Structure formats: structure tokens, C-alpha cells
Amino acid sequence: PSAQAAKIKLCLALDTGGVDDRSFNQGAWEGAKSSPVANAEYLAAASSADFAPNIKAFVDKKCELIIGVGFAIAGEIVKSAKANPKIAYAIVDNDGGDCDANFVCKPVKNVKGLTFQTDEASFLAGYLSAGMTKTGKVATYGGAPYPSVTIFMDGYVRGVDYYNKVKGKKVSVLGWNTTTKTGSFVGNFTDQNAALTLSKGFEQQGADIILPVGGNLGAPYAAANEKTKKALTIWVDSDGYGLLPAGKSTLLTTVVKEIGTSIKLVASDVANKKFTGALYVGTLKNKGISLAPYHDLSSRVPGQLKLEVRKIRDQIIAGTLKI
């Protein structure tokens, strides 16, 4: 692009988790802040009742790009977009479609959906875990049974299943069942003490790799593990290696969901007047999602397993492996 003109005004309407949730709100905000073409600001919501007024406040402030962070805000984003066709909108974790009474949906021109095929990456994490486990048991749990949470767990379980199929092994996954859609949850995203106890429950069942899907919830066990070394942790959303204050030495990898990258992408589209409402799907292919490096544990992951994981990734990208 040519020499930067004035930066665009990028406004994030956050979900109720708050900007410091070590999860998608935080990822989105950090991405927005680091965008070179935009001045970013955000509004936090205390409940879903705040979504509409927050968006309206952005419209009044003449934001040029308004991004709803979280599927819950989709409805209000679409409504506002239809009323303000000149403003560019985006919505994280939703396709931003406008549905009629019969639930026939069509895309809205000025809304870009930012969705992620998260299970592709957690599939890799599942395969990796199955290859790494010594006890033959791995585990996953969530904060609350939201679909944006369970999609990680789904992919993870399928990854393990795939490993079993390929290798003829019997690694089992505790904490989630893809057919009954039932599993282990803390019940909220704040009670870290309960999450720690739950993780210990997995440990007692013999699981030696745990994937917690719940923002901060997994942090205490990751930290505790540094002493006990009983299990490895897999983080989600943003690479836990830079994020976690403790537990790096037992952090196997992270199922990365590049919300920030996708937001920077939309921002630069808007700045360069290339914005369209076409759906964005973060995949392994476009690096919208990825499996983070193994960092400190790199040496412990067998080279063969590394290769296999890379191969599966390529197969998924190529479309030859359907997960």
C-alpha cells in the first residue's frame, strides 16, 4: 500500500468476558491494538443488554469499522449494519448472515463474518496428545458448555480417534464425548479453584495431557504442574507460552485461534478500501488457526510424531483428510 493516510477508526464491541479474559476478547483487542492502519478502541459489556447500545455508541462516534467480538453480538451487529450501510462491520465467531422468519439467511454486504475452523487445529492437538501420552489417557474440559468451547473439544477427541484408527491404539479421552455431547465443565469461566480440582480429578484418572478450554481456568493447573510434572497442558486461543506466568515447562502446545490476525486483516481491507462482506474462515490453510510451536517441550516430542502431525496438517489443508 501507499504511504499511510489517516488511520481508520476501529471499534470493538466486546462480549461479557471483558478485555482481560485471556481468551477471545483479549485476543481481539490485542490484534486491534497492533493494527498499523487503525486507531482502536473498545467497549466492554456487562450483559447482553449492552450490545445494542454499545454498537450504537460506536455509530455515533463515527467508527469506520465496528467489530462484534463473540457470536452473541451477531444479531445486533447485523441490525446495525443494515441501518448503516456505509459503515464496515465484522463479527467474530459468526457468519454475519441476515436471516428471515424462516431462517433462510443471506449475507449482508457490509458485514464480514470471521469464523474459525478451530477443530482442525485441535484435531492436530488430539493426534499429538495421543502420540505423546504414556498412560493412554488424555483429557479435556471446558468452562461452560458453549458451542465455541465444545468445538475445540470435538476436534480434540476426533484427533485422538484418528490416531487410534491409524495406529490401532486405544488412547482414550476423558471429559468429552462427541456422540452424546456430554462432558466435564467448571460451570463458569472464573472459578479457578474448581478448575484446579477438576484437573486433579483427571490426573487421578490417569490422564497425562489436559486441554482446558476456558480462558484463565487452566492457568492454575498449568502452574501447579511445573512442580508435580504429572501432566502436560495444551492451551487454547493465543499461544500460552507468552501468556502464562507459570507452567511454560509443561506446556505442550496451543490450539491457536488467530482472532487478532483476522481483525488486522479486516482493518487493512477497510483502510485500503478493499472491504467486502465475504465470509472469512480461519483455517489451517490460511493460518487463521494453527498449532503453536512446542517451545520448551520440543525436544520431548519424537521427531516421527512431529512429522506425522505436519503431514496430517498438510492433508487437511489439501483437503485429502476430512476431519
* Size of residue set near other proteins by CB under 8 A: 67
How many CA atoms, within 13 angstroms, populate the side-chain half-sphere of residue 193?
0
Member of 121, 130, 157, 174 binding other proteins (CB under 8 A): 174
Give the range of 217-225, 249-257, 280-288, 290-298 binding other proteins by CB under 8 A.
217-225
User: By C-alpha distance, which of 244, 261, 266, 263 is closest to 253?
Assistant: 244
Residues 18 and 25 sit within 8 Å (Cβ to Cβ): yes
Contact status: 193 vs other proteins (CB under 8 A): yes
Grid cell listed for 235: 492451551
Per-residue mark of binding to other proteins, 39-58 (x: CB under 8 A): --x-xx-xxxxx-xxx--xx
Residues 279 to 298: which contact other proteins by CB under 8 A? Answer: none
User: By C-alpha distance, which of 25, 14, 59, 22 is closest to 215?
Assistant: 22
Cβ at position 114, least distance to other proteins in Å: 14
- Helix (H) or strand (E) segment spanning residue 244: none
CA gap 59, 199 in Å, rounded: 44
Cβ at position 292, least distance to other proteins in Å: 19
C-beta of 146 vs 241, nearer to other proteins = 146
Q: Give me the phi and psi of 142, to 5 degrees please.
A: -125, 170
Cβ at position 121, least distance to other proteins in Å: 18
How many CA atoms, within 13 angstroms, populate the side-chain half-sphere of residue 209?
27
Spacing of C-alpha 55 from chain mean position: 23
Contacts of residue 190, Cβ cutoff 8 Å, sequence gap at least 6: 216
Give the range of 30-38, 97-105, 155-163, 254-262 binding other proteins by CB under 8 A.
97-105
Contact status: 180 vs other proteins (CB under 8 A): yes
Q: Does residue 246 sit in helix, strand or coil?
A: coil
Cβ at position 170, least distance to other proteins in Å: 14
Contact status: 237 vs other proteins (CB under 8 A): no
Contact status: 101 vs other proteins (CB under 8 A): yes
Q: How many other CB atoms are there within 10 angstroms of residue 310's CB atom? A: 12
Member of 1, 61, 287, 302 binding other proteins (CB under 8 A): 61
Cβ at position 59, least distance to other proteins in Å: 11
Residues 102 to 121: which contact other proteins by CB under 8 A? Answer: 103, 105
Residues 11 and 63 sit within 8 Å (Cβ to Cβ): yes
User: By C-alpha distance, which of 111, 109, 114 is closest to 55?
Assistant: 111
Cβ at position 192, least distance to other proteins in Å: 4
How many CA atoms, within 13 angstroms, populate the side-chain half-sphere of residue 222?
28
Contacts of residue 278, Cβ cutoff 8 Å, sequence gap at least 6: 107, 112
Cβ at position 308, least distance to other proteins in Å: 27
Member of 108, 130, 171, 196 binding other proteins (CB under 8 A): 196
Give the range of 202-210, 259-267, 278-286, 313-321 binding other proteins by CB under 8 A.
202-210
- Helix (H) or strand (E) segment spanning residue 99: strand 97-99
Residues that bind other proteins (CB under 8 A): 16, 18-20, 41, 43-44, 46-50, 52-54, 57-58, 60-61, 71-72, 75, 93-94, 97, 99, 101, 103, 105, 139, 144-148, 174-175, 177, 180-185, 187-188, 190-194, 196-198, 200-202, 204-206, 216, 219-220, 223-224, 245-246
